[in-house]
Amino acid sequence: MKDALEQMRREFGEDAVILSTRTIPLGGQGAEIVEVTAMSETEIAEDAHDDTRPSGADTIANAATFAGMRNDLAEMRRMLDETADAVRYRYAATLGARHGNLYKRLRQSDVPDEDALRLVGRAAAAVGGFAHEQELFEAARKIISSDIKIFPPLQPAARPITVAFTGTTGGGKTTVIAKLAAVCKLVFKADVLIVSADTYKVGGAEQLQTFAAIAGIPFRSAYSAQELRQLMRQHQQSGGVILIDTVGRSQRNLEHLGETAAMLEAAEPDNVYLTQSAATSEKILTDVIQRYKQVLNPTAVILTKTDEAETLGQVYAALRRSPMPLAYFSTGQNIPDDLEPATADKFARLVLP
């Protein structure tokens, strides 16, 4: 054993680690073989960091175990996907092929289960049992359109029109104002005045002021409700369209919403738009509409960022639960091109492409 340990130190160095020793007797005369299994410390450290390092039979066994585990994981993942689909499309199987397809497509568009089933039921009743799948889809689109109210787009009128834009932060108020101002000036040849009551955010008013200067549109800003009231008195007689920008407000901050309400009271606008991103969940959208209704009572919704929203089923559901007419779709950042008057037909096609 002494000899063996010496040999081990020669080969593996002073700090070698003994993994095992055993003596194997050789015949009768006390002769024996001494087996020492050892490893140098550096090798142990390397092994700890490199578990892909091949080491004979162990590696083959490990690879087989690993491949087995990978297969198991893939199978578990497939089962989870199936379960998720079974939950998401839980009624697809019971609905049969055509109705099931419509149901699945509505669910893929984030139409909640309850609304999807209702749409399938009503569409099926409308077209009868033997209709083509396309007819069934078209019937569903018709029902979606009939569920949505549309607010007419701004029209040049003999009398002056004042409109205010409200909404949660970053929803696209200022961008929509720039687009509408350009349309009113260039297409309707109307006198336009842009008023910014967004004096809360650093650079809030400057953003619009710069646009107004470039577009050659008069611009004013109001720092308080009183200032806004005076400004309105001066300008409302002069006719044309007055577009008022307001500060982005969280639907959950009643104090801030109250401040905007005071501004609106001073401005006495004909229309108040709720400018809201389409890329919002049903829950949040419903919350925004309900809380804004309570404090600011908007006339219509401008649905922005429809280009960014992957689905619109959640918007449909929110508007069905808390009805508010749709006025415009904002479909991108380009001024003034990316703004369309909303139509029920277009909305239905966005919900059910």
Q: CB of 270 within 8 A of CB of 242?
A: no
Rounded to 5°, the CA angle 51-56-62 comes to: 50
Q: Is 168 in the site for Mg ion (CB under 5 A)?
A: no
Q: Which of residues 322-351 bind Mg ion (CB under 5 A)?
A: none
Q: How far is the CB of 127 from ligand GTP (least distance, A)?
A: 35
Under rule CB under 6 A, how many of the chain's residues touch ligand GTP? 22
Q: Which of residues 153-192 bind ligand GTP (CB under 6 A)?
A: 167, 169-175
Length of the chain: 353
CB 53 within 8 A of CB 46: yes
Nearer to ligand GTP by C-beta: 68 or 170? 170
Task: Verify binding: residue 336, ligand GTP, rule CB under 6 A.
Answer: no
246: contact with Mg ion by CB under 5 A:
no
**Residue with Cβ nearer Mg ion (104 or 173):** 173
Asked, as a colleague might, if the bond just before 54 is cis with ω within 30 of 0, I would say no
Asked if 174 is part of the footprint of Mg ion (rule: CB under 5 A), the reply reads yes
Q: Which of 289, 295, 291 is nearest to 316 (CA)?
A: 289
Closest residue to ligand GTP in the complex (CB): 248
Select the binding partner of residue 221 from ligand GTP, Mg ion, none (C-beta < 5 to 8 A, by kind).
none
Q: Which stretch binds Mg ion (CB under 5 A): 7-15, 35-43, 166-174, 300-308?
A: 166-174
Residue 324 contacts residue 300 (beta carbons within 8 Å):
yes
Smallest Cα–Cα separation from 268: which of 302, 230, 240? 230
Closest CB to ligand GTP among 112 and 248? 248
Q: Could you tell which of ligand GTP, Mg ion, none binds residue 25, using a CB distance below 5 to 8 A set by kind?
A: none
Q: Is the dihedral of CA 337, 324, 150, 132 positive or negative?
A: positive
**Residue 332 sits in the site that holds ligand GTP (CB under 6 A):** yes
Spell out the residues 6+ positions from residue 264 whose beta carbon is closer than 8 angstroms to its own: 164, 166, 246, 272, 296
- Of 181, 185, 214, 183, nearest in space to 196 by CA: 181
Q: How far is the CB of 194 from ligand GTP (least distance, A)?
A: 13
Q: By C-alpha distance, which of 280, 347, 318, 302 is closest to 174?
A: 302
Q: Closer CB to ligand GTP, residue 7 or residue 169?
A: 169
Q: Which of residues 259-318 bind ligand GTP (CB under 6 A)?
A: 275, 304-305, 307-308
CA-based Rg of the chain, rounded to a whole angstrom?
Answer: 35
Q: Identify which range of 86-94, 126-134, 196-204, 229-237 contacts ligand GTP by CB under 6 A.
A: 196-204
**Chain contacts with ligand GTP (rule: CB under 6 A):** 167, 169-175, 198, 201, 204, 248, 275, 304-305, 307-308, 330-333, 338
**Chain contacts with Mg ion (rule: CB under 5 A):** 173-174
